[in-house]
Amino acid sequence: MKKFFIQTFGCQMNVYDGQRIAAMLESHGWQATDKIPDADLIILNTCAVREKATNKVFSALGRVRRAKRPNAMFGIVGCVAREAGATAFRRIPELNFVLGPQSYHKLPEILNNPDARLLNIDLGGLEKFDELPQMEKSPAVAYIPIQEGCNHCCTYCIVPYTRGRELSRPFSDVIRDCEHAARTGAIEICFLGQNVNGYKYTAPNGTVYRLSHLIREAAQLPEIQRIRFTSSYPTEMTDDLIDLFKSEEKLLPFLNLPIQSGSPDVLTRMNRPYSLDLYIDIVDKLKAARPDIQISSDFIVGFPGETDSDFNQTMDIVRRVRYINSYSFKYSPRPHTAAALMKDQIPESVKAQRLAALDAFLNDIQREFNESCIGKTMTCLCEGADKTGNHLVYRTPYMQQCIVPAHDDAPVLADIRITAANKASLRGELVK
């Protein structure tokens, strides 16, 4: 039996794509291996969001080239494939395929031809969702893409180039995927999209479906106990969606709502046209709908022209919202983006200083929140055993990791009393 090796970098959308590619290869009779020298086919499923991510892919390609069997086929799929296009073949002449995020279903065309060269970085289609086989068994958390691409055109972001303009999948296709996931083992559904709350599908009869419709429909499935979605754009947090946090118990009390910067000037240059007042108003409405809700954010520090005062405004918004579980990044100039051409690029040393200060502050708040959970009982979802096998790893409703002593008949969804906490994780015990 022929074997394939796949390594995935980047976001949840890529993780999903990687699972679909694996399911497709298995349906063609291939078997997965985690050893490059054993593989007849090697795929790197790639991320281009920051320069570091792209560099990582090219150094991994160098390693693959040295470790692979001479006649094994190899190639890249995903965002770096789209970013690099034909130049990837110039950098690594032995590559067999370079397939963008919306073209990987073309892979079978060349599977048995080691001399093949296939370049397809087209955008604009959702065929991959229809053409690829479903996974036979769903993991407990089913990631279900509902839209792909982004129309917002933030000036720092390569995603509109790599994943294209926004396309929303038909409502009935998404619900069919939810039903399939529920039937085959899912307990939690996480709806995915680069601009997930911008989901908008108009059915042939004219009915318009939004994310709130999808959530309400998925919540009807008895197997599904928890629902969440990522990643959201602030101004698309419409009232129908906010109200669901009040009425729909299965919706987790946790939302990633990236603000990126707390400076109105920087937000303008990022082409993120919302005011801080509007953003805070949305957070307050969410808290009114669901008092126990917690918010996380993504931040970029060192965007071109960011002054100390701009940066301090980011610290102020962190103080105001008290974000948990956030991600922060140094600004990284990307090809095909407007910000890469802006004057006043910030020196690396200043970016590093600001990132360290922001991270320290976010970590303090995270630790404080984690400690406030001690003594509480939360319903958590099991992700499996840790490396030692002595513990089980659960996720709380706030996506905190919670470590519990291994237990033979521990339920997948369990009430856990939190007994200890640090910055990164919680410890707990099963409530009988």
Q: Which stretch binds ligand SF4 (CB under 6 A): 105-113, 155-163, 170-178, 345-353?
A: 155-163
* Residue, CB closest to ligand 5AD: 298
Q: 332, 366, 370, 396: which one contacts ligand 5AD (CB under 6 A)?
A: 332
Binding mask 362-391 for ligand 5AD (x = CB under 6 A): ------------------------------
**How far, in Å, CA of 124 to CA of 104, rounded?**
13
**How far, in Å, CA of 360 to CA of 344, rounded?**
26
Residue 9 or residue 201: which is nearer to ligand 5AD going by CB? 9
Residue 245 or residue 303: which is nearer to ligand SF4 going by CB? 303
**How far, in Å, CA of 76 to CA of 18, rounded?**
12
Q: 36, 41, 43, 49: which one contacts ligand SF4 (CB under 6 A)?
A: 49
Residue 163 binds which of ligand 5AD, ligand SF4, none (CB < 5-8 A, kind-dependent) = ligand SF4
13 binds ligand SF4 (CB under 6 A): yes
Binding residues among 243-302 for ligand 5AD as defined by CB under 6 A: 258, 260, 298, 300
DSSP 8-state class, residue 347: P
Q: What tokens does 87 get? A: 């130049």
**How far, in Å, CA of 150 to CA of 167, rounded?**
8
Residue 156, C-beta contacts closer than 8 angstroms, at least 6 positions apart: 270, 300, 303, 331, 334, 337, 339
Residue 13, C-beta contacts closer than 8 angstroms, at least 6 positions apart: 101, 145, 148, 163, 192, 193, 194
Residue 358 binds which of ligand SF4, ligand 5AD, none (CB < 5-8 A, kind-dependent) = none
Residue type, 153: C
Residue 17 or residue 40: which is nearer to ligand SF4 going by CB? 17
Residue type, 361: F
Shortest Å, Cβ 307 to ligand SF4? 28
Binding residues among 160-199 for ligand SF4 as defined by CB under 6 A: 162-163, 194
Buried b / exposed e over 273-304, threshold 16 CB at 10 Å, is eeebeebeebbeebeebbeebbbbbebbbbbb
Residue 211 or residue 270: which is nearer to ligand 5AD going by CB? 270
Residue indicated by tokens 């917002």? 152
Residue 19 or residue 260: which is nearer to ligand 5AD going by CB? 260
Q: 4, 5, 14, 404: which one contacts ligand SF4 (CB under 6 A)?
A: 14
Binding mask 302-331 for ligand 5AD (x = CB under 6 A): ---------------------------x-x
Residue 190 or residue 219: which is nearer to ligand SF4 going by CB? 190
**How far, in Å, CA of 94 to CA of 72, rounded?**
10
Nearest CA-CA partner of 236 in 219, 212, 254: 212
48 binds ligand SF4 (CB under 6 A): yes
CA-based angle 317:321:326, to the nearest 5?
85
Residue 52 or residue 69: which is nearer to ligand 5AD going by CB? 52
Nearest CA-CA partner of 416 in 426, 403, 400, 429: 429
**How far, in Å, CA of 350 to CA of 361, rounded?**
17
Residue 75 or residue 149: which is nearer to ligand 5AD going by CB? 149
Total interface residues for ligand SF4 by CB under 6 A: 13
43 binds ligand SF4 (CB under 6 A): no
**How far, in Å, CA of 171 to CA of 169, rounded?**
6
Q: DSSP characters for 94-162?
A: T--EEE-TT-GGGGGGGTT-TT--EEE---S--HHHHHSPPPSS--SEEEEE-EES-SS--TT--HHHH
Shortest Å, Cβ 116 to ligand 5AD? 33
79 binds ligand SF4 (CB under 6 A): yes
**How far, in Å, CA of 306 to CA of 269, rounded?**
10
Residue 345 or residue 401: which is nearer to ligand 5AD going by CB? 345
DSSP 8-state class, residue 3: E
Shortest Å, Cβ 274 to ligand 5AD? 14
Residue 156 or residue 311: which is nearer to ligand SF4 going by CB? 156
Q: 159, 267, 270, 321: which one contacts ligand SF4 (CB under 6 A)?
A: 159
Residue 290 binds which of ligand 5AD, ligand SF4, none (CB < 5-8 A, kind-dependent) = none
Positions that interact with ligand SF4 (CB under 6 A) = 10-11, 13-14, 47-49, 78-79, 159, 162-163, 194
